[in-house]
Structure 1
């Protein structure tokens, strides 16, 4: 029996993934399934560039805005959520169109990952307390002694992921990077992957244009509404690009122009890291340069190829 097909459209932030996914899903009776970590949270639909109400009405969408900012979304948890949506699509005779730039999440779904044992109660609180007491630099140096491979992949100030890696080491005595190399249960579907790989200058300009468009769409009010609730700074959903900078603006630490500039710079740095990851970790079926091609024609040819 032939494997059922799942289309994956991925690439760096602001590269045009959503528009391509929408067009393909509309033409093939598909459902767009979110594969972007921050778009899974419910409080920042403008800031995280989630589909508009009109887009959701034109084509079914899944896993957008389904979690509160306080919940942790791991790659394994997203894989389970996405797998359920894929099965729901296929049962209904719809094409699953995964769309997003969270590369590790996609890799976990497409290739499987070893199940990391749950840590005993209290270890995460202990690790968080140690991060606070030691400071980010010292905590990172200690983690590097046990798991240098994971430290090389983490941003220095990423408390959540450093704490998670240390928690895994404490619980298992085995580096998280080793766990992540483990083989999991392979999925029952065949994936066809389209990677949008734009020219760097084009993407940098597009990121700036999109941030300015968000400001005009009311992103300040959106983020201010969350800021006024005095959320816990440890909430994972607060890492959305632009949110920390706008929070700093609301605290009087940055002018709006500085918050805008830094938010754009951080988003550009993230896009660069995404492209590095895709180059080393993914072998797409089709690579599209959205600078000159929206990718619809190449995607249609790919779909025709795998359906025959």
Structure 2
């Protein structure tokens, strides 16, 4: 038997994932410098130029001269989804792999990472008014009635979905309502074969350490002017990217739903819960190899073994 097609793939996409505040940005930049390569962001909120503080977007100084793609690539007024991201990143990788043996993809948006590693299922187009109506319903009545509706329309997906993730719930509902078929019917989960090798690395820390970093990050965001950033984004409150931790809590404060102390408490609590959900998502996909972000030698040895193998 000849060598497997996997071994003939000379280019490597290093996929670096982990929960919010674990240290992905810092490590990916250090790795990119060491490997003389570039970074593609898989953080679905860092695409938007208007969202900086609440997304913990790396500043030009933090980037240390490393080229980053899909940061500030879109305006908040543009609709962008994981299917379009898949096509755009694959086209970009074709070009990048002409110059670089390996490229780093990093971020915490599980669906966008999976779009690149496994491919997206073909999803039907959904009229914008359906999504707007569902987001409106959520703002007025909360998520509970939408969950109830999803349970009726698609019990299969209802049992799989992270029920605290309003974006996923609304996505499933809009497809079910637009097509008259359950969302789960469109999810075939057939991984695609990519023309490059994929090396999956997960970053994690002790829970207490991670939670402390999350609380500290929230304090830094608030000091950097998160409130002012969210105030400026108020006209776009219904946008999908803003239905997320760090923005929702401040909108609720601005809408008079609770006071500032409660907004901060919820912001920290919801960020911790989000980190927990991210870890669940990535550990379910069991082909990640996990490291502490400071285990530089071990991470590097693992990558170099692949590069030289």
TM range (shorter): 0.7 to 0.9
Matching residue of 2:300: 300
CA distance in 2 between partners of 1:64 and 1:132 (Å): 28
Matching residue of 1:243: 247
Matching residue of 1:277: 281
Q: 1:212 pairs with 209, 219, 225, which one? A: 219
Whether 1:263 aligns to 2:250 is: no
Q: Is the 8 A contact 2:12 2:199 kept in 1?
A: yes
Structure 2 residues without counterparts, runs of 5 or longer = 1-7
In the TM superposition, residue 304 of structure 1 has moved relative to its aligned partner by 1.2
What's the secondary structure of 2:200's corresponding residue? strand
Matching residue of 2:3: none
User: How many residue pairs align between the two structures?
Assistant: 300
CA distance in 2 between partners of 1:121 and 1:216 (Å): 36
CA distance in 1 between partners of 2:39 and 2:45 (Å): 16
What's the secondary structure of 1:38's corresponding residue? coil
Whether 1:288 aligns to 2:291 is: yes
Deviations 1:166-225 (A, max 9, x none): 332244444222322342643211111110121111111110011111222232332233
In the TM superposition, residue 265 of structure 1 has moved relative to its aligned partner by 0.5
Deviations 1:80-113 (A, max 9, x none): 2222332232123363111101112212211123
Whether 1:224 aligns to 2:231 is: yes
Matching residue of 1:92: 99
CA RMSD of aligned residues (A): 2.6
Q: Is the 8 A contact 2:12 2:101 kept in 1?
A: no
Q: Is the 8 A contact 2:17 2:108 kept in 1?
A: yes
Q: Is the 8 A contact 2:136 2:238 kept in 1?
A: no
Structure 1 residues without counterparts, runs of 5 or longer = none
In the TM superposition, residue 39 of structure 1 has moved relative to its aligned partner by 1.6
CA distance in 2 between partners of 1:303 and 1:7 (Å): 8
TM-score normalised per structure 1: 0.86
What's the secondary structure of 1:305's corresponding residue? helix
In the TM superposition, residue 132 of structure 1 has moved relative to its aligned partner by 8.1
CA distance in 2 between partners of 1:48 and 1:127 (Å): 24
CA distance in 2 between partners of 1:120 and 1:300 (Å): 46
CA distance in 2 between partners of 1:48 and 1:135 (Å): 24
Q: 1:43 pairs with 34, 46, 50, which one? A: 50
**Counterparts in 2 of 1:127-138, with a 5 A limit?**
136-138=143-145
In the TM superposition, residue 127 of structure 1 has moved relative to its aligned partner by 5.8
**Counterparts in 2 of 1:1-308, with a 5 A limit?**
1-93=8-100, 95-119=102-126, 124=131, 136-152=143-159, 153-155=161-163, 158=166, 160-183=167-190, 185-227=192-234, 231-284=235-288, 286-290=289-293, 294-308=294-308
TM-score normalised per structure 2: 0.86
Matching residue of 2:4: none
